[in-house]
Chain A
């Protein structure tokens, strides 16, 4: 039996350089800790958070509005962890 959670958060990209390769890499690496399927949406376009290429292809620059969505056994924890990274500006200025 699957204890399926579903969770989402609306966020704004706040680091000056936007979701560039190294920042996106942090999300990819963090996502590896969870089993849920995690997506990042911008203007209805969805990117798999486990794919660096699909993340940077979203073209999120400074102030982009994005939605983080997860479904799976650990969806809540995944969304809160990854939101933390985005809200923490990926550790940048």
Chain B
């Protein structure tokens, strides 16, 4: 039924976006509805028409049951996806569509599979023209429903769609985060998709579940056949299809090494991050989804250094309410206690918020209305979030972190707002924690040079290296023309970080570093050498960074950082640093 196109040898290695690290090797399960060869015939006798309609109705009721079941099975964190399933259910029973499909059967005497295919084609034509991003982007979901009906009609598998034997690698055009969560718990080994990127929600879920994934792979689905052996390397973004024996052995060895290395570092992850010369470095986790909490706990994190709160505002139709936010924040705070949680307030611009995208996408959002600017301009949204944070802080230690601050005014305005929310909660007799520490993200270069003044009015700093690099070097990492100019070890960046760390120490202001630099074995040692005492990183990076710290001596890292600070060029700085690392840790940097 599912005939693959001929395999082209030159296409055996495809490259995509590194969405979630790890190596997976297994048989491919290709879900490629476009290539289904479906029965195509005309119904000869009148008597067959009604039984064909019955067959269609039965298939639809199978799909309806599955949709209802997957709606029920959504974990609480992904309930926001339920709206999509509701829309799919309505589309499944849409009278206009049903009428069209039925008339294709009754009048043109098409078999049910073809009737559904033809109807889908007409929907696609209509929906592609609808000026509603939500709907036109949901086209793939609608096709999913259509092909679910067809799958039920032709009866293959009869079970889940796609049916996934344990240890296999799913190869698809696109897949929802909810579906990935479900498949991963059923033993999926890896995921390769044509659409999506590192920051898509599906990628974030894959990272949270430590499922190797490569996304945005062009010409993927057409090049892989069901059952093909596929190697997926989430660290390089390679998908190797039908590898030869040598390649396979190479990757099997790599995978084994990775597993045993991971097992070893994870085993030792609970040990504190103390250098050989007895300096303790605080290592905390970055959190985006509640699903990541268990990993953060088991990796011996000393708290949550960056809780990104955007997820609950995206991919949905309505703003989350105070109680909904509170329930999730409280869960995070209680799970992390007695360690602290640094909650970063909403760092979105209009483009990612709910459905606003259809309105005025900001072509230059990095410099536009986002982060604290957006929140101060949209007070009701901000107030709701602040109240939810204050309430959650009743259950553990919480600090509030403000993103995209460019001046002291924004800090002051927020402080007033927090005070106002404290008073309103007081009046309503709702439990909350007063006087939470208010901190500032150091990511807009202006704040580096205002650090001394900011330190007088703020409780702590968190250096967001990703944006600090982007703004300081004027490089958009997403733009392939300049992406290689994005250099964490640029001398200007090192000096700015040093400046903030120094001012932090002089003024007694707590400074944590939370960008990618903190999570990389190539750059974290330099940060520590520059004086960083607290790093926050994605959960998966915690064990290896803690291990690196335990193998290092602080005085040596300080000497390396001193050298790097004197470098005039990025090449000099990174050259020295890499040489030092290789010499000191030959087993880590081969």
Contact surface of A with B, Cβ cutoff 8 Å: 16-18, 20-22, 25, 28, 48, 50-54, 56-57, 59, 61, 92
Contact = CB atoms under 8 A, between A and B. Distances in A.
Nearest to A29: B90
Kindly name the residue among A53, A56, A59 whose own CB sees the greatest number of chain B CB atoms within 10 A: A53
B131 A61 contact: yes
A20 B134 contact: yes
Contacts of A92: 318
Interface string B105-131: 000000000000000000100110111
B132 A21 contact: yes
A16 B353 CA distance: 14
A50 B359 CA distance: 27
Contacts of A21: 87, 132, 134-135, 138, 317
Contacts of B97: 51, 53
Given A48-B96, A57-B130, 9 more contacts: A20-B132, A21-B87, A22-B83, A22-B86, A50-B95, A51-B94, A53-B91, A57-B129, A92-B318
Kindly name the residue among B97, B131, B135 whose own CB sees the greatest number of chain A CB atoms within 10 A: B135
B130 A25 contact: no
B123 A53 contact: yes
Contact of A22 (B129, B130, B131, B317): B317
B96 A54 contact: yes
B358 interface: yes
Contacts of A51: 94-97
A17 B87 contact: no
A7 to B, nearest CB: 21
Given A25-B87, A28-B90, A20 B135 contact: yes
Contacts of B90: 25, 28, 52
Interface of B: 83, 86-87, 90-91, 94-97, 123, 126-127, 129-132, 134-135, 138, 317-318, 355, 358-359
A50 to B, nearest CB: 5
Given A17-B355, A22-B83, A22-B317, A52 B134 contact: no
B96 A22 contact: no
A50 B97 CA distance: 11
15 contacts: A17-B317, A17-B358, A20-B134, A20-B355, A21-B138, A22-B87, A22-B317, A25-B86, A51-B95, A51-B97, A54-B96, A56-B135, A57-B126, A59-B129, A59-B132
B132 A56 contact: yes
Kindly name the residue among B83, B130, B132, B317 whose own CB sees the greatest number of chain A CB atoms within 10 A: B132
A54 B130 CA distance: 11
A52 B94 contact: yes
